[in-house]
Amino acid sequence: MSRKNQKAPWEPEEEIIWVSKSEMKRDMEALQKLGEQLVDLKPNALAKIPLDEEMLEAIKDAQRFSKEARRRQLQRIGKLMRQVDVEPIQAALDKLNNKHNQATAELKKLEQKREKLIENGDSMINAIMVDHPDADRQRLRQLVRQANKEKAQNKPAKAYREIFQYLKELYLED
């Protein structure tokens, strides 16, 4: 008797992974959300994402559409996403988001440094001079004095903003 369509006993059996309909739906919705994030990007940011021509065209169309047409186009993008490898797309999108978060964090650090500079004066100026020997100590002192004076007299904070710009030049343009 022949053994058609049966494996030999020494061959390993393939493991069958069952996926529920709900899980497949969740995966498709996640792909659609990823597509929606791509549609929300500006053209210069979109250029940094590795996309094929069909996907790029669909995204540009979705950016032009509104209401129901946009919803249908987002569903089409989700469908197209099932056919491509989403790992590089997700990695590029995460990288873009992370750059924005890093820039925001750096600006917050500069704001804190400005606050300390205004509060502590010369001791903070000395710390800045250690980090950046080419910084203008006299200019920093003058700006700190003006900022304190403006604060005491409830005047517009012109020197306060100038300190931030000066620190930004020192720390972010290294």
Question: What's the pLDDT tens digit per position in 18-70?
Answer: 878 888 888 888 888 888 888 888 888 787 788 888 888 888 888 888 889 88
Are residues 57 and 115 part of one domain?
no
pTM: 0.48
In a domain, 126, yes or no: yes
DSSP structure string for 7-50: --TTSPPPPP----HHHHHHHHHHHHHHHHHHHTS-HHHHTTS-
51: CATH: 1.10.60.30
pLDDT band at 150 (very low <50, low <70, confident <90, very high): confident
In a domain, 97, yes or no: no
Contacts of 134 (CB under 8 A, 6+ apart): none
Are residues 166 and 111 part of one domain?
yes
Residue 163 · residue 118 · CB < 8 Å: yes
pLDDT band at 10 (very low <50, low <70, confident <90, very high): low
* CA pair distance 48, 91, nearest whole angstrom: 11
Count of the separate structural domains present in the chain: 2
Are residues 111 and 67 part of one domain?
no
How many helical (H) and strand (E) elements, i.e. helices and strands, does the chain have? 8, 0
* CA pair distance 131, 144, nearest whole angstrom: 18
The boundaries of the domain holding residue 54 are: 23-84
In a domain, 101, yes or no: no
